[in-house]
């Protein structure tokens, strides 16, 4: 069995590649540095030559609130092209199993908590990242359509907010977790006495280390087969203020945290119901404190 991981140098993709290699599964990783999955002809040719038995789609244009809000066309158009080309090429090459990595932003902004899989499309999306959410919703629907029309054993997984090595630490385009890692780590290095954090700090978020995600994906590959996507998360959350204070403490920052409430908070809360993935025998192993420390270490070693 050969597994193809698309987006293999990104946050999720690189962790999945590491886990597959750890358990001895033959894996091939591709990234945008090799070729553009928006190129339909090239994507079809690559899949036809490789003929993998499993494709894991972790390839996507991703970013935080600012990036999503500023470039909605790119987040919608580019992601639809990437995932559609990869799925169509996989069908053409008779790929047995396809796993599509979605995003928790597919759920309505004011969703009941914790969020069950069936709450999808039950309300209005968060406006700041609705374009990205619609692209991911389209991917979920295409997976379901391939199952319905051709009987493929393909499915989608919905991870909660991820963090860990190979994250994007660019302050203009990153998510909140790596942005806070960079801000506080740099402040310690520069001996700054203040750090400005966007928003009010009140939204609640759930965070999962990518190494735990990778193990969950392997469990799903072995045990899951349904047209309904499956949530992957920790089942617990914290406020952005609590997260910032944890990262500040672990990084060694002893100065003042200033909250810029002129910046958008986004969705008030995102906490996934993880009963289905738990029943498959998976649970996260990396605590938030240990994850923060290891991610700070990785950032300092690689920046």
Nearest to 299 by CA among 159, 188, 160: 188
Whole-angstrom distance, CA of residue 282 vs CA of residue 209: 14
Active site residues: 132
Whole-angstrom distance, CA of residue 296 vs CA of residue 197: 17
Using DSSP bridges, classify how beta strands 3-6 and 54-57 pair: parallel, antiparallel or unpaired: parallel
Count of alpha carbons within 13 Å of 164, Cβ hemisphere only?
24
Identify the H or E element spanning 240.
Answer: helix 240-251
Q: Residue 106 in 3-state DSSP?
A: helix
Alpha carbon separation from 215 to 87, 91, 204 (Å, rounded): 23, 26, 25
Give the orientation angle of helix 210-223 with respect to helix 11-22, to 10 degrees.
60
């Amino acid at each position: 069995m050969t597994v193809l991981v698309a987006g293999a140098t990104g946050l999720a993709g690189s962790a999945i590649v590491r886990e597959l290699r750890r358990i001895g599964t033959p894996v091939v990783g591709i990234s945008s540095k090799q070729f553009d999955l928006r190129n339909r002809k090239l994507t079809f040719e690559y899949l036809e030559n490789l003929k993998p038995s499993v494709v894991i789609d972790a390839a996507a244009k991703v970013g935080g609130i600012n990036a999503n809000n500023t470039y909605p066309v790119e987040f919608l158009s580019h992601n639809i092209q990437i995932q559609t080309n990869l799925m169509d090429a996989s069908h053409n090459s008779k790929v047995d199993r396809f796993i599509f990595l979605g995003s928790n932003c597919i759920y309505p902004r004011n969703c009941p908590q914790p969020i069950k899989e069936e709450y999808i499309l039950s309300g209005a999306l968060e406006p700041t990242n609705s374009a990205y959410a619609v692209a991911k919703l389209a991917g979920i629907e295409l997976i379901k359509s391939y199952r319905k029309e051709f009987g493929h054993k393909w499915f989608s997984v919905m991870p909660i907010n991820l963090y860990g090595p190979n994250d994007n630490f660019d302050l203009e385009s990153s998510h909140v977790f790596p942005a806070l890692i960079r801000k506080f780590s740099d402040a310690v290095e520069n001996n700054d006495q203040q750090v400005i954090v966007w928003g009010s700090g009140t939204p609640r978020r759930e965070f999962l280390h990518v190494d735990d995600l990778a193990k969950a994906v392997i469990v799903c590959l072995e045990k899951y087969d349904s047209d309904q996507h499956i949530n992957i998360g920790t089942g617990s959350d914290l406020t952005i203020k609590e997260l910032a204070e944890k990262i500040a403490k672990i990084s060694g920052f002893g100065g003042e945290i200033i909250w810029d409430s002129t910046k958008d908070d986004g969705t008030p809360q995102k906490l996934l119901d993880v009963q289905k993935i738990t029943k498959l025998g998976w649970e996260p192993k990396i605590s938030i404190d240990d994850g923060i420390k290891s991610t700070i270490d990785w950032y300092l070693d690689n920046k």
